[in-house]
Amino acid sequence: MSDFNSTHNRAVWFDIPVANLERAVKFYASVLAIKVDVIDEGGFTFAVLEHGEGKVLHSETDT
């Protein structure tokens, strides 16, 4: 975790359990208007929501 995230108490990773990954990927991509990547790693398949410069929630002030 970066110093910026720990200083500002920002969530940097969380799990959303789903029963149908394909359906969940379509849902979150559509509702949030973001790219969702599906990754298969070591027998586990999971999806990662687009992150970085974009935000799901934005505030003009840090509170």
Does 61 reside within a domain?
A: no
Task: Report pLDDT for 22.
Answer: 94
Does 28 reside within a domain?
A: yes
* Virtual torsion, Cα 15, 21, 25, 28, nearest 10 deg: -50
Task: Report pLDDT for 51.
Answer: 73
Task: Report pLDDT for 21.
Answer: 93
Q: Which domain holds residue 44?
A: 3-49
Retrieve residue 10's tokens: 């920002």
Report the alpha-carbon distance of residue 36 to residue 48 in Å, rounded. 6
Task: Report pLDDT for 26.
Answer: 97
What is the DSSP code (8-state) at residue 9?
T
Does 8 reside within a domain?
A: yes
Does 56 reside within a domain?
A: no
Task: Report pLDDT for 3.
Answer: 61
Split into its structural domains, the chain has a count of 1
Task: Report pLDDT for 23.
Answer: 96
Weakly modelled stretches of the chain, pLDDT under 70: 1-10, 52-63
Does 14 reside within a domain?
A: yes
| Whole-prediction pTM | 0.63
Does 60 reside within a domain?
A: no
